[in-house]
A and B are shown apart, each in its own frame.
Chain A
Amino acid sequence: MGEDTDTRKINHSFLRDHSYVTEEALSKPTKENRLSPSLRAAVSSQISTSDIISTVEFNHTGELLATGDKGGRVVIFQREPEVRRGLSKNAPHSQGEYDVYSTFQSHEPEFDYLKSLEIEEKINKIKWLPQQNAAHSLLSTNGFQRSEASGELSSCMDKTIKLWKITERDKRPEGYNLKDEEGKLKDLSTVTSLQVPVLKPMDLMVEVSPRRVFANGHTYHINSISVNSDCETYMSADDLRINLWHLAITDRSFNIVDIKPANMEDLTEVITASEFHPHHCNLFVYSSSKGSLRLCDMRAAALCDKHSKLFEEPEDPSNRSFFSEIISSVSDVKFSHSGRYMLTRDYLTVKVWDLNMEARPIETYQVHDYLRSKLCSLYENDCIFDKFECAWNGSDRNAFSLGEVGEKSVIMTGAYNNFFRMFDRNTKRDVTLEASRESSKPRAVLKPRRVCVGGKRRRDDISVDSLDFTKKILHTAWHPAENIIAIAATNNLYIFQDKVNSDMH
């Protein structure tokens, strides 16, 4: 397994593939897009808020990468098939780059006339459905959506989830009997013989159409959606409730978790994230603002308010402060590919939990512990409420079949100053890398960064006080099989490939 051994060195050999910038040119919503050549557009000097990327997700094969932004737009990238292997390393475009495949407006921006406020149409989450035919499907959910009752300006807080079908068309029928080439009806007197329409190849066209709209399910902000392994149902979670939907039924959903207290005055905890188990369709986990995880079994009861397992780490008395609860709030939870472990992210750490041990995580990694002494300032500027995501590396299929060996993996999460961190669970080594145009040229190997807290300072170190807290990497994604990662840095999307990995081809 030489390949595996080499890929363990990913910490130091990630190189930059391409960076794509979503800019004004892409803001026009289109239902159909021609497959456009790869966009290596110049950076637009104005960064509009609507272009800030709010979610990143690979599909199950890794061929497609979807991003959602605050303007309610979804951009899908497709990996170009790799050109003949064995070419020299220096051959361009031989590694399978990601190019824009389709762009569409998922949720329309609205203007609330009553309150004179723009309603944010931020795409909160995108989840791909497992591919069952030639078409691709994905679910997208937004922050707010006004009910579309015609004529009424009631600002009802409907949150909707939409199912989109993405299809390709590369042929079109020609030779209709009743219509001419432009589609106009022919004068029947000119039709003298019948012909059979023939399918002729055309330029590839990607069509995206909304197939389902799951509305009226949520009163509060939807923070996560998760497709079940049964490929028939999915769940959506908001601050206080989790609903179970069937993909084909939009007018009904089942409430499976409800933590809303009878008296809102007693509210002390909200749901922050949730996910279905990757293999057991009856199990799911949800995290709370108090740092606890609850594993629920849908076979136990219709309403899973009573958890099957509660994962909670007791508070460390030496680190206790006014902000202990805020920094313990879990912002993301992800099952490992095998389903044996869970990865959680809170403000300062990422933790790996074993489903068989509820008392404490099996591993804890410090993401940016140097911020512990700055919590007061971070509370003041609201950065302490930032929600970072985390990711497992792709499951190496060979190793996965060996069971546990495949789990000794790498985990990744974002931080400030456009830094992101990777932790190798095997070697216990970690690295800090930066996603920025200035610090990396195309095809160059990313240089590890270091944050110094004081004392000895090396040449390229960044001091804690000069970190840019407006440059946060909240959303990251890892290709399901290969060492390819997608990093969203504000309005820029970076895709990095493992140099070692690409050399192997």
Chain B
Amino acid sequence: MLSKGLKRKREEEEEEEKKETLAVDAWWLDPSHSAVAQAPPAVASSSLFDLSVLKLHHSLRQSEPDLRHLVLVVNTLRRIQASMAPTAALPPVPTPPTAPNVADNLLASSDAALSASMASLLEDLSHIEGLSQAPQPLVDEGPLGRPAGGASPSLGALDLLGPATGCLLDDGLEGLFEDIDTSMYDSELWAPVSEGHKSSPEDGPGKEVGPDLDEAELDYLMDVLVGTQALERPPGPGR
């Protein structure tokens, strides 16, 4: 089963951060927002991050975006990311710079440009969020396709899956057009994965540094893992 493998992966890599992740989940479900202030700083950052991303999207969706609001939110997002970054050696995320670019596109008043830019922005964001997400996709994800994920606990995972982000889009596109059901029965796809799923979670950290697994196989495994994640999530930009 898909979820089975993913669960194992999560257990192995995010055991320490379980508490924090749960706290974040609780905040997401809890309508009262006072929890934000009470949460520990690391979690507050990720909640703030999510909030800022939400604001950014909302701002961009306006027919005539308020540039001041946009710039301030983007700069705040940068600050939050900068505070989260030390946990992983991440190259600066392309999201904030694309936002004003999107704004500029918007200002050209082109609906086509808007949806394309929005799509790319959403893709970028979903890369970061999706790669670090909890495996259970939310029921009401909506167009964002973004779960309440602790981005900070899983930045280590981001590092690992970094090279695969480029492939995600390809896999995602494939996933868009593939029927999820049939892919499950695709024996070719599944045979190596089932082995990989069983073996990699337990030896995950070990495998990263172990000389036994060569890079190509690791990349392949990661591609599949990320690809299955994409399949689980509803196609965001395809509207």
Task: Tell whether, in the assembled complex, residue B109 and residue A155 are in contact, meaning their CB atoms are under 8 Å apart.
Answer: yes
B26 at the interface (CB under 8 A from A): no
For B98, the chain A residues whose CB sits under 8 A away are: 265
Asked if residues A385 and B72 are in contact (CB atoms below 8 Å), the reply is yes
Is A289 positioned at the interface, with any CB of B under 8 Å from its CB?
Answer: yes
| In the bound complex, CA of A252 to CA of B229 (Å) | 57
What is the minimal beta-carbon distance from B137 to any residue of chain A, in angstroms? 24
Contact stretch, chosen from B75-83, B144-152, B178-186, B212-220: B75-83
Q: Which residues between 83 and 106 of chain B lie within 8 Å of chain A, taking CB atoms?
A: 83, 97-98, 100-101, 103-104
The docked-state distance in angstroms from the alpha carbon of A156 to that of B110 is 11
Give Cα A157–Cα B108 distance, bound, in whole angstroms. Answer: 9
A239 to B64, CA, bound (A): 13
Structural contact, A264 and B66, CB atoms closer than 8 A = no
Q: Is the CB of A325 within 8 A of B75?
A: yes
Residues of B within 8 A of A268 (CB): 71, 74-75
Interface size on B, residues (CB 8 A): 30
Does A376 contact B36, Cβ atoms closer than 8 Å? yes
Complex CA–CA separation, A322 to B79 (angstroms) = 6
> Are B51 and A325 neighbours in the complex by a CB distance under 8 Å?
no
B160 at the interface (CB under 8 A from A): no
Binary flags per residue of B10-33, CB closer than 8 Å to A gives 1, else 0: 000000000000000000000001
* Contact residues in A for B36 (Cβ distance below 8 Å): 376-377, 380
Contact of A157 (CB < 8 Å), options: B74, B75, B80, B107: B107
Given A155-B109, A265-B100 in contact, is the A270-B51 Cβ separation under 8 Å? no
Contacts of B48 in A (CB 8 A): 322, 376, 379
Residue A348 at the chain B interface, CB threshold 8 Å = no
> A264 near B101 (CB under 8 angstroms)?
yes
At the interface, yes or no: A224 with Cβ under 8 Å from chain B? no
Residues of A contacting B68 in the complex (Cβ-Cβ under 8 angstroms): 221, 239, 270, 272, 289, 329, 385
Instruction: Tell me if A325 and B63 are in contact (CB < 8 A).
Output: no
Known: A270-B67, A289-B71, A329-B68. A323 touches B76 (CB 8 A): yes
CB-CB under 8 A for A219 and B107, given A144-B64, A325-B79: yes
Question: Inside 8 A of B37's CB, which chain A residues have their CB?
Answer: 376-377
Interface string of A266-279 (1 = CB under 8 A from B): 11111010000000
Given A155-B109, A326-B72, A329-B72: A221 and B66 within 8 A (CB)? yes
Number of residue pairs across A and B with beta carbons under 8 Å?
Answer: 77
| Given known A264-B100, A267-B100, A272-B68, contact A322–B76 (CB-CB < 8 A) | yes
A382 to B83, CA, bound (A): 22
Interface set, chain A 436-491, CB cutoff 8 A to B: none
The answer to the question of A251 belonging to the interface, with a C-beta cut-off of 8 Å to chain B, is no
Q: How far is the CA of A272 from the CA of B107 in the complex (A)?
A: 19
Separation of A326 and B55 alpha carbons in the complex (Å) = 14
When the two chains form their complex, are residues B109 and A267 in contact, meaning their CB atoms are under 8 A apart? Answer: no
Residues of chain A with a CB closer than 8 A to B198's CB: none
Q: Is A240 an interface residue (CB 8 A)?
A: yes
Q: Is the CB of A380 within 8 A of B33?
A: yes
Does B71 contact A115, Cβ atoms closer than 8 Å? no
Residues 307 to 323 of chain A near chain B (Cβ within 8 Å): 322-323
Interface centre among A240, A265, A377, A382 (most CB of B within 10 A): A265
Interface pair B109/A157, CB less than 8 Å apart: yes
B69 close to A (CB within 8 Å): yes
Chain A nearest CB, measured from B53 CB (Å):
13
Closest to B109 in A: A155
Interface string of B103-126 (1 = CB under 8 A from A): 110010100000000000000000
Which B residue sits closest to A323, measured CB to CB?
A: B76
- Best-buried of B33, B44, B55, B100 by chain A (most CB within 10 Å): B100
Residues of chain A with a CB closer than 8 A to B71's CB: 267-270, 289
Contact A325 B72 (CB under 8 A): yes
Minimum CB distance partner of B98 in chain A? A265
B101 touches A379 (CB 8 A): no
Contact among B55, B75, B80, B104 for A264, CB-based, below 8 A: B104
Is there an interface contact between B69 and A325, defined as CB atoms closer than 8 Å?
Answer: no
* Cβ–Cβ < 8 Å partners of B104 in chain A: 264
Q: A112, B63: Cβ atoms under 8 Å?
A: yes
Chain A nearest CB: distance from B73 CB in Å? 8
A220: interface (CB < 8 Å): yes
- CA A377 – CA B107 in complex, angstroms? 30
Contacts of A156 in B (CB 8 A): 109
Q: Tell me, rounded to whole Å, the shortest Cβ–Cβ distance linking A36 to chain B.
A: 36
CB distance from A107 to the nearest CB of B (A): 15
**What does the 1/0 interface line of B37-60 toward A look like (CB < 8 Å)?**
100000010001001000100000
Per-residue contact bits, chain A 321-358, to B (CB 8 Å; 1 contact, 0 not): 01101100100000000000000000000000000000
> A residues 101-121 with Cβ under 8 Å of B?
112, 115, 117
Q: What are the 8 A-B residue pairs with the smallest beta carbon separation, nearest first? A: A264-B104, A265-B97, A239-B67, A267-B100, A264-B100, A265-B101, A270-B68, A326-B72
- Using A157-B64, A268-B75, A382-B55 as known contacts, list a sample of 11 further A-B pairs with CB atoms less than 8 Å apart, ordered by residue number in A: A115-B63, A221-B68, A264-B104, A265-B97, A265-B101, A266-B100, A325-B75, A325-B76, A325-B79, A377-B34, A379-B48
User: Can you list 24 A-B pairs with a CB-CB distance of less than 8 A?
Assistant: A112-B63, A156-B109, A157-B107, A221-B64, A263-B101, A264-B100, A265-B98, A265-B101, A267-B100, A267-B103, A268-B71, A270-B68, A270-B71, A272-B68, A289-B68, A289-B72, A322-B48, A325-B75, A325-B79, A329-B68, A329-B72, A376-B44, A377-B33, A380-B36
